[in-house]
Chains A and B, each alone.
Chain A
Amino acid sequence: MAAGLPSRSGFAQSLETLGQMSIEELGNVEITSVSKRPEALADAPAAVYVLDHDQIMRSGATSIPEMLRLVPNLQVAQISPSSYVVTARGFSGNYADQSFSNKILVLIDGRSVYTPLYSGVYWDAQDVLPDDIDRIEVISGPGATLWGANAVNGVINIITRNSSATEGGLLEIGGGNQEMSTALRYGGQLSDDASYRVYAKAFSMAPFDTPGSGNAHDGWSKPQGGFRVDWKPDSDLVTFQGDMYTGAEEEGQNPDQLISGGNLEARWNHPLDDGSNLQLLAYYDQTRRSSSEGGGSFVLRTYDLELEHSFTVADWNKIVWGVGERVNAYRIAGAYSPENSLVFEPAERTLNLANLFIEDAMTLASRLQLTAGLKLEDDPYSGVAPMPSLRVSWKPFDEMLLWAAASRAIRAPTPFDVDVVETFWGSPYILGKPNFHPEDLDAFELGYRQQIMSGLSLSLSGFENVYDDLRNIVGGPGGSPPYRWGNGMRGDVYGVEAWAAWQVTGWWQLNAGLTVQHEALGFKQGARTLAGIAQAGDDPHHQASLRSSMNLGQDLTVDADLRYVGVLPDPKVPDYAELNLRFGWKITDRIELAVSGLNLLHDKHLEYTDPPSDLVKRSFFIDTRWKF
């Protein structure tokens, strides 16, 4: 077993934390990995950061994007109470040029939640009860070979806890100047080898202000409920889970936006007698979005089936291979105002996305590993794309890992690239490109992780991302609308991601993170283009974070998160620093009280391009939890 986990997770799961766990929770502590095969995280040849349950709870974050602010290799910007941009290694998009962040794969328990309509993520539709999350693994850089579609700039993998870890009842009630929320969960044993939990939660968030300091009318509310059942007959593991939600969002002067959806998932893990392992995953997901005054709607249904088999050959080859098929069926209807609408033509399609992958992790010498993988993905618009990767890792001694990787990933065409018809003031504004090429990435990475001494660990990753065929907006004849998409942009993004965790004393831990990146994008020779390179993204050159976590005695925790985000260049958004503070008090074994303040340094601040961004407000929140 390898030493020295690279991320803070190694420390958060310190003896002290473990000592507070129940015997069931101990059995649920994940001690390995990101890769699809069990492997110590310390050995994973990728830029991986793991946010564990304890960190998530102590941050006081109530939504997934707020949790992701704790991840040093992600960039998070809030646009409104319900809307965020989350990226890794740049490409946050640019609203004025109809370019939206679209290069991240997000999975919740293996269920892909990026939308196939434009490859971005509707963060308002994704929610998990924070206490149900076991950990969030974030890989910056391509993970296309193993994780597949859309894992171009990064993979966010949200993993919930086994239901045997959440027995009993939990009632949570919280309130503050920006948010009111409540959650109820109950779990127990169904039989000797099966457990369950059910939950319901709801929140309401108050609106932000517009930069002109008026009410932005962008508040929202959303109830959600769900369940999970885990059954372990013999050495198998079988999980069923599902969620349902419905939400209403104010949209400034426009009619409210309504969202709703649900999902059902089944996973079966079956160890075979020969020591190999078989896993089957199937899910159904439905999501809807519409205007409260009718029109402007879409409904998307996703059916997914994945099979994965891992085995060992001749002791030194660990092989995992798999096949998957995903069917996305959607229907989109014109906007509430035919003057300004965004539709796809055809308005209904069924997209088939199939993949086949194999990866072999070869132990060449006791401290040297070579991992070679290939994924073939058949996407509905551009056909079969090969996505190879080659990773090498070397442990000069137990506490240090050096790794290097070269890999290819694509951002496959979507209906938004190919079929879109956007109308402004009654005339066509943007039209899709029928033969849109996949956006292509060749990524070269170099990394270093070390447990420098007991209690101090460091991770450094450098990357050079070489993009081609990036989407740009092309003027019509004479430069006037209708505009069309092109594949005219290319170039490099390079940078460094660093983070460190330091257990200063038994009761005090510090975490620091820094990313620096430089975008050198340009247009291909002869490419026609309308907007400049800023259309790819409005990304900070650097950002930094510092977090302090203190245990003051048995019952009191104090956490502070300071973050700094550099200037967004074009359109310009000033740099900012913000601070979150949280005091947690365990009044009895069953009752906990927490007081948190978010974005304390400014009354309000801007995080992303305006319009349409609103100013993020300082907020306070008091949370009470009762376990029964």
Chain B
Amino acid sequence: MAAEISAHARKWGPAVIALALGVAALAAATLSQAFAGEGDTLALEVKATYLIKLPPFITWPGDAFPSSVSPFTLCVVGQDPFGDLLDKALAGKRLIDRPVAVLRIDTAAQDSPCQVMYVAAGPQPAVKSLQAVAGRPVLTVTDSAVDGAKGIVNFILRDNHVRLEIDQAGAIRNRLEISSKLLSVAASVTPK
């Protein structure tokens, strides 16, 4: 068998040589251009899109916005995993009929001016950020229970799809109303 394989290997011919050369040339070219790729993954793109698609399914109380012209503010707390995805996806868009601002902050405070707060891992434990806005009209979002803590919406990976876990009790605590449509597409709903 081994002899057979080596006999075949000799016959691999121009195709494989071309492939090897191609690999080598491309590897060299890439390594030399000081790679700085973001590595946009489809999963991140889907999550970023979710963040933008969620607001129309949520009703915020009247005091969620300082004024009728205040922008809709999407906050990312901690290390932003999205790179420029959110900015790209939001370019030129309005959310619930307001202009949109993306605010990246290290720590969340009770008075952070956020309507949606995506809590990523960061200097402050995620659970602290979530506690900081408990009772405030903020839709908290986490990914795969960051540091063991879950926001009102938590992304999970199920059967190769990014799905949502929704905490209805958390939503009520923060005085948010979640449409039944959104609840119906959730992978799981923690009841009131």
Q: A and B: real partners?
A: yes
Q: Give residues in A with beta carbon < 8 Å to B.
A: 1-5, 9-10, 13-15, 18-19, 21, 23-24, 26-33, 38, 40, 164, 189, 192, 232, 234-235, 237, 269, 396-400, 402, 444, 446, 448, 450-454, 458, 460-462, 464, 466, 492, 494-496, 516-518, 520
Q: Could you tell me if A29 and B162 are in contact, using CB atoms closer than 8 angstroms?
A: yes
| B18-54 vs A, Cβ < 8 Å mask (1 yes, 0 no) | 1110110011001000010111111111101110111
Given contacts A235-B187, A452-B26, A454-B40, contact A18 B46 (CB under 8 A): yes
* 11 pairs from A and B in contact (CB 8 Å cutoff): A15-B49, A18-B45, A18-B46, A29-B46, A30-B160, A31-B46, A32-B160, A237-B159, A399-B35, A458-B26, A494-B12
Number of A-B contacts (CB under 8 A): 150
Interface 0/1 of B56-91, CB less than 8 Å to A = 010000000000000000000000000001001100
B15 touches A400 (CB 8 A): no
CB distance from B160 to the nearest CB of A (A): 4
B53 pairs with A26, CB closer than 8 A = yes
C-alpha spacing A186/B22, complex, angstroms: 49
Nearest residue (CB) in A for B19 is: A462
Question: How far apart are the CA atoms of A537 and B162 in the complex, in Å?
Answer: 43
Residues of A within 8 A of B183 (CB): 192
B39 touches A15 (CB 8 A): no
Cα A13 to Cα B16 in complex, Å, equals: 32
Q: B192 at interface (Cβ–Cβ under 8 A)?
A: no
Residue pair A27, B164 in contact (C-beta under 8 Å): yes
Q: A498–B88 Cα gap in the complex (Å)?
A: 30
Classify the secondary structure of B's interface with A: helix
Known A444-B5, A454-B40; judge A460-B16 contact (CB<8 A).
no
Q: B16 contacts which chain A residues (CB < 8 A)?
A: 446, 462, 464, 494, 496
Instruction: Give which listed residue, A19, A396, A451, contacts B37 with CB less than 8 A.
Output: A451
Chain B's interface size range is 35 or more
Knowing that A23-B181, A30-B161, A396-B27 touch, tell me 20 more A-B residue pairs with CB under 8 angstroms: A2-B39, A3-B37, A19-B49, A23-B50, A23-B54, A31-B162, A33-B160, A40-B41, A189-B184, A269-B159, A398-B39, A399-B37, A400-B27, A446-B19, A448-B23, A451-B39, A458-B26, A464-B8, A494-B11, A496-B18
Q: Mark B158-192, 1 if CB is under 8 A from A, else 0.
A: 11111110000000000000000111110110000
Report whether A14 and B45 are in contact in the complex, using a CB–CB cutoff of 8 Å.
Answer: yes
Q: CA–CA, A156 to B23, complex, Å?
A: 27
| Min C-beta distance of A614 to chain B, whole Å | 33
* B residues lining the A interface (CB < 8 Å): 4-5, 8-9, 11-13, 15-16, 18-20, 22-23, 26-27, 30, 35, 37-46, 48-50, 52-54, 57, 85, 88-89, 157-164, 181-185, 187-188
Say yes or no: A464-B39 contact (C-beta < 8 A), given A14-B45, A31-B161, A33-B160.
no
Report yes or no: B19 in contact with A235, Cβ–Cβ below 8 A. no
- Which chain B residues lie closer than 8 Å to A460 at the CB level? 19, 22-23
Task: Report which of A2, A164, A235 forms a contact with B188, defined as CB distance below 8 A.
Answer: A235
The docked-state distance in angstroms from the alpha carbon of A189 to that of B164 is: 18
Bound-state CA distance A588–B39 (Å) is 35
A residues less than 8 Å from B50 (CB atoms): 23, 26
How far is B86's CA from A89's CA once the two chains are assembled, in angstroms?
A: 42
CB nearest neighbor in B for A28: B161
Q: Which of A3, A15, A453, A466 contacts B48 (CB 8 A)?
A: A15
Question: Whole-angstrom distance from the CB of A53 to the nearest CB of chain B?
Answer: 13
Task: From B19, B45, B48, give the contact of A448 (CB < 8 A).
Answer: B19
Chain B residues whose C-beta falls within 8 Å of the C-beta of A40 in the assembled complex? 41
Contact residues in A for B49 (Cβ distance below 8 Å): 15, 18-19, 21, 26
Cα(A492)–Cα(B187), bound, Å = 49
User: B163 touches which one: A21, A27, A192, A446 (CB < 8 A)?
Assistant: A27
Q: CA A27 – CA B22 in complex, angstroms?
A: 38
Which residues on A sit within 8 Å (CB–CB) of B22? Answer: 448, 460
Q: Closest B residue to A461 by CB, please name it.
A: B19
A3 to B44 alpha-carbon distance, docked (Å): 10
When the two chains form their complex, are residues A29 and B42 in contact, meaning their CB atoms are under 8 A apart?
A: yes
A454 to B45, CA, bound (A): 14
Q: Which residues of A contact B187 (CB under 8 A)?
A: 27, 232, 235
A494 to chain B, nearest CB (A): 5
Are A516 and B158 neighbours in the complex by a CB distance under 8 Å? no
| Distance, CA A496 to CA B181, complexed state (A) | 48
Closest approach, in angstroms, between the C-beta of A208 and any C-beta of chain B?
35
Find out whether the CB atom of B42 lies under 8 angstroms from the CB atom of A10.
yes
Bound together, the chains give a CA A599 to CA B157 distance in angstroms of 42
Q: How distant is B186 from chain A, measured CB to nearest CB, in Å?
A: 9
Report, nearest first, the 8 A-B pairs whose CB atoms are least far apart.
A3-B39, A462-B19, A18-B49, A32-B160, A448-B23, A496-B15, A31-B43, A15-B89
A51 to B145: give the CA distance in the assembly, Å: 32
